[in-house]
Amino acid sequence: MLSRFETGREYSEKEVNEILLGVHEDFAYLRRELVNYRYLEREDGRYRTAAHAPERSGIERQEIPAWEAHWLPDFLRGRWPARR
């Protein structure tokens, strides 16, 4: 899902909802999870991809695929295609 967003770009909540609606009808849940897992940052109703890969707690590491550690940092630096 994160690959549907451009790194460094700000999105309104409406734009985030429209992007996530292309994934699943419960876009609000997906939006909250992207923020909760710190893939997206939210400030004053604006969203953007995280500037850096988040530090994961032991509990989070159980839920996150191992390949995240390889893919996410490159994506957040803009070194990964925004869409495939």
Residue 26, Ramachandran bin (φ over 0: left; ψ between -120 and 50: alpha; else beta): beta
Residue 43 structure tokens:
């400030």
Query: What single-letter amino acid sits at 79?
Result: R
Rounded to the nearest integer, the mean pLDDT of the chain is: 90
Please say if the pLDDT value at position 77 is more than 60.
yes
Q: Quick one: DSSP state of residue 31?
A: H
CA dihedral 31, 59, 65, 79 (to 10 degrees): 60
Full-model pTM: 0.81
Please say if the pLDDT value at position 40 is more than 60.
yes
pLDDT of residue 58: 87
Please say if the pLDDT value at position 71 is more than 50.
yes
Distance (Å, whole) CA 44 – CA 50: 15
Please say if the pLDDT value at position 73 is more than 80.
yes
Please say if the pLDDT value at position 49 is more than 90.
yes
The DSSP code sequence of 61-72 is HHHS-TTHHHHH
